[in-house]
């Protein structure tokens, strides 16, 4: 590869002790950017995400069937099986850590200290190590030892209290997002934190410990509403598909039972909407003359829009309003999303030539650079790279590895 075209993280090595979602998403993005990621998995079992349903169709690798969730989070990594509960396994991890600049883990706070694999244990021999710990509640505090999962933090942070149908309407009550929002955001934040720490380290300032907690990320995601509360004492409640800031903004039923989302965030958008629909009477109505007035009369406005839009074909309406400069879109299913013309233009659906699964469709990385490529690697089979990495990084021979395998260490 031409020197100019090397990926951004070419030559960077990452030791991945994470499982499930937030940590693996972070390390997958690092792999997409060209880092060599050594994913440590349990011998014979692997990451828990390998085995959940649904699984990839077709052939199975040497480690058995692979789930679609594992495929979404672990491309481009090297899988190494090591039992870190054994002294021999712990010794291997310590040696591999010395060969890496970054370590990412998401064990419960204090768990890795039992094995001498926490940051405090590794730092004396590796002052440049960037050690990112991802936990539910952080490294300290009254709940630090508890396990935590995405829906828990949607609840704790108040996120669920802002999602769902408002009180007094059918189906009222808080709801969580089906998308594991806190996990995904934590993976993204972890990537940012690691890259910033790498920049700091490359400046000659050494490594450091990153204490990243899902509870922190969930609270940070609530920033607009959290700041409103901190500044005014006002608690934002549920508004369904409407907006507490702009009107009109809602899902409206069109012909065929579909919906279209209209977000009219300023008076210019409102003027465009009225013009496109031929409703000059709405534009002249004093109740709708400004966004504050439209918010006051949002119930009447939504009723009028539902009546006016109910006879429109969904896609004809989306085209009409979109061409008029009104922010709107059909509410797609996941299948329909991949048929969206802009999604197709951006080639968000890609195919990776996987040696086990053949042409494997995947979601393209959202990272795009003009000068350096993003790499969409293949899925590692469980333990596929164990011998290769132990031989190359630790100069172990086949006989030594065979002994460790017989002992269940690798």
Task: State the pTM of this model.
Answer: 0.94
Best CA proximity match to 16, nearest among 76, 88, 63: 76
| Contact yes or no for 123/103 (Cβ under 8 A) | no
Q: Which of 16, 32, 150, 183 is catalytic?
A: 183
Distances (CA, A) of 276 to 294, 317, 320, 326: 18, 10, 7, 9
Tell me, what DSSP letter sits at residue 285? -
- Those residues whose C-beta lies under 8 Å from the C-beta of residue 127, and which sit 6 or more positions away, are 206, 207
| Contact yes or no for 64/369 (Cβ under 8 A) | no
Tell me, what DSSP letter sits at residue 201? I
Tell me, what DSSP letter sits at residue 202? I
Is 183 known to be catalytic? yes
How far is residue 379's CA from residue 49's CA, in Å, rounded to a whole number? 13
**pLDDT computed for residue 64 by the predictor:** 76
Domain segments of the chain as ranges:
3-220+377-406
**pLDDT computed for residue 4 by the predictor:** 54
- Those residues whose C-beta lies under 8 Å from the C-beta of residue 298, and which sit 6 or more positions away, are 242, 247, 248
C-alpha of 52 from chain center: 18
**pLDDT computed for residue 49 by the predictor:** 94
How far is residue 114's CA from residue 318's CA, in Å, rounded to a whole number? 58
How far is residue 14's CA from residue 132's CA, in Å, rounded to a whole number? 11
How far is residue 314's CA from residue 251's CA, in Å, rounded to a whole number? 12
How far is residue 309's CA from residue 260's CA, in Å, rounded to a whole number? 9
* Sheet with 13-17: strands ordered across: 78-81, 36-41, 13-17, 102-105, 130-135, 208-213
Q: Which segments of 87-222 does DSSP mark as H helices, in order?
A: 87-98, 119-122, 150-156, 181-200, 214-221
Q: What residue ranges in 232-327 does DSSP mark as E strands?
A: 249-253, 259-263
Pairing of strands 349-354, 358-363: antiparallel
**pLDDT computed for residue 244 by the predictor:** 83
CATH of 3-220+377-406, one of 3.40.50.10480, 3.40.50.2000, 3.40.50.10540, 3.10.20.440: 3.40.50.10540
The tens-digit pLDDT sequence of the chain (410 residues) is: 455 568 999 999 999 999 999 999 999 999 999 999 999 999 999 999 999 999 998 767 766 789 999 999 999 999 999 999 999 999 999 999 999 999 999 999 999 999 999 999 999 999 999 999 999 999 999 999 999 899 999 999 999 999 999 998 999 999 999 999 999 999 999 999 999 999 999 999 999 999 999 999 999 999 999 999 999 999 999 989 988 889 999 999 998 778 888 877 789 999 999 999 999 999 999 999 999 999 999 999 999 999 999 999 999 999 999 999 999 999 999 999 999 999 999 999 999 999 999 999 999 999 999 999 999 999 999 999 999 999 999 999 999 999 999 999 99
| Contact yes or no for 274/248 (Cβ under 8 A) | no
**Half-sphere CA count of 38, side-chain side, radius 13 A:** 27
| Helical (H) or strand (E) element with 361 | strand 358-363
**CA atoms 81, 84, 86, 87: torsion sign:** positive
**pLDDT computed for residue 245 by the predictor:** 85
**pLDDT computed for residue 1 by the predictor:** 43
């Amino acid at each position: 590869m031409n020197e100019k075209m090397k990926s951004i993280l070419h030559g960077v090595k990452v030791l991945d002790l994470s499982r499930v979602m937030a940590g693996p998403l972070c390390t997958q993005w690092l792999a997409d950017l060209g880092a060599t990621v050594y994913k440590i998995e349990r011998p014979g079992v692997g990451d828990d995400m390998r085995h959940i349903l649904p699984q990839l169709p077709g052939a199975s690798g040497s480690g058995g069937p692979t789930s679609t969730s594992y495929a979404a989070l672990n491309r481009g990594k090297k899988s190494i099986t090591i039992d870190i509960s054994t002294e021999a396994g712990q010794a291997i991890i310590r040696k591999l850590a010395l060969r890496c600049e970054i370590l990412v883990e998401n064990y419960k706070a204090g768990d890795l200290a039992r094995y001498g694999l926490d940051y405090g244990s590794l730092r004396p021999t590796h002052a440049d190590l960037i050690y990112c710990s991802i936990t539910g509640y952080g490294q300290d505090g009254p709940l630090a030892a508890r396990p935590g999962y995405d829906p828990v933090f949607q609840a704790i942070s108040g996120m669920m209290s802002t999602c769902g149908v408002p009180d007094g309407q059918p189906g009222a009550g808080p709801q969580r997002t089906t998308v594991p929002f806190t996990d995904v955001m934590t993976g993204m934040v972890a990537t940012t934190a690691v890259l910033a720490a790498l920049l700091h380290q490359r400046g000659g300032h050494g490594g450091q410990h990153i204490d990243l907690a899902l509870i922190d990320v969930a609270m940070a995601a609530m920033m607009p509403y959290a700041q409103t509360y901190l500044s005014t004492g006002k608690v934002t409640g549920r508004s369904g598909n409407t907006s507490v800031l702009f009107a009109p903004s809602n899902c409206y039923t069109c012909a065929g039972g579909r919906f279209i989302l209209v977000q009219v965030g300023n008076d210019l958008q409102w003027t465009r909407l009225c013009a496109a629909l031929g409703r000059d009477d709405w534009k002249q109505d004093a109740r709708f003359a400004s966004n504050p007035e439209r918010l006051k009369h949002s119930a009447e406005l939504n009723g009028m829009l539902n009546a006016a839009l109910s006879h429109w074909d969904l896609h004809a309406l989306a085209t009409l309003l979109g061409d008029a400069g009104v922010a709107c879109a059909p509410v797609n299913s996941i299948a329909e999303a991949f048929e969206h013309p802009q999604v197709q233009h951006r080639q968000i659906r890609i195919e990776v030539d996987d040696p086990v699964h053949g042409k494997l469709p995947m979601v393209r990385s959202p990272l795009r650079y003009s000068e350096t490529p993003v790499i969409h690697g293949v899925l590692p089979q469980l333990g596929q790279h164990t011998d290769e990495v132990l031989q190359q990084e630790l100069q172990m021979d086949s006989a030594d590895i065979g002994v460790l395998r017989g002992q269940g260490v690798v």
